[in-house]
Amino acid sequence: MKPDVKICGLKSEEAVDRAVARGATHIGFIFFPKSPRNIEPAAAGELADRVRGHAKIVAVTVDADTDDLDEIVDQVKPDYLQLHGNESPERLLTLKALYGLPIIKAFSVREASDLERIEPYIGIADRFLFDAKPPKGSDLPGGNGVSFDWTILQSLDADVNYMLSGGLNAENVGEALALTRARAIDVSSGVESAPGIKDVGLIDAFFDAVEKAGASNRSQRSDET
């Protein structure tokens, strides 16, 4: 099965158009002022309008307050909220009631015990997202281009609906998919020429690698039967 692919941290028409033309199922906009990918809600709304209906629009926030979220939801009309901070299960319930939107809850992972943190969110978050822990000194909870030991995810129950992220790129996404059989992947830094600058050549290379991984997994499965 083809994985969902989210290209995150988009800021230009060129990058949005290429991501969706290559088959991105989700595109993400970052609303976090410290990020080189931060975008104003009005500008994100215009980019979202170019591809609405062709890819799901994801608004990524970090412990955002309700006033900021009101503006983001109003201007961007996202299909999902991605919460990349320390939002509690109660906060997710409040936001679901307020906006009626499905929520992707991000967790940072270094070791298997980190996965236990999803338990209170099961049945509340619509999808989980696993990212690496930020390196020391980083101001960003995500978007650091750092990966974690993907084999940790093999211990998860098969019905946990998650997106794999953190340091994915054209060189490593095939291995990540083979090791985890993730049904959804998310990339930001790995398709950039510099922090916050998406590169259409790298977007192409990423999708080429995902397609190649799909072909190789399919042939492996038919060898096994």
Q: How far is the CB of 218 from ligand LGQLAAA5 (least distance, A)?
A: 26
Nearest to 211 by CA among 167, 170, 159: 170
Out of 89, 134, 167, 174, name the contact with ligand LGQLAAA5 by CB under 6 A.
Answer: 167
Q: Which two tokens stand for residue 141?
A: 């909870």
Place of tokens 């410290």: 34
Out of 5, 8, 103, 109, name the contact with ligand LGQLAAA5 by CB under 6 A.
Answer: 8
Known active-site residue 131: yes
Identity of the residue, 34 or 218, whose beta carbon is nearer to ligand LGQLAAA5 in the bound complex: 34
CB 80 within 8 A of CB 58: yes
Q: How far is the CB of 151 from ligand LGQLAAA5 (least distance, A)?
A: 18
| Distances 103 to 27, 43, 176, 208, 222 between C-alpha atoms, Å | 14, 22, 24, 29, 36
Binding letters toward ligand LGQLAAA5, positions 77-116, x by CB under 6 A:
-------x--------------------------------
DSSP structure class, residue 63: S
| 31-60 residues near ligand LGQLAAA5, rule: CB under 6 A | 32, 35, 37, 60
Tell me the β-bridge partners of 104. 82, 127
Which residues belong to the active site?
8, 131
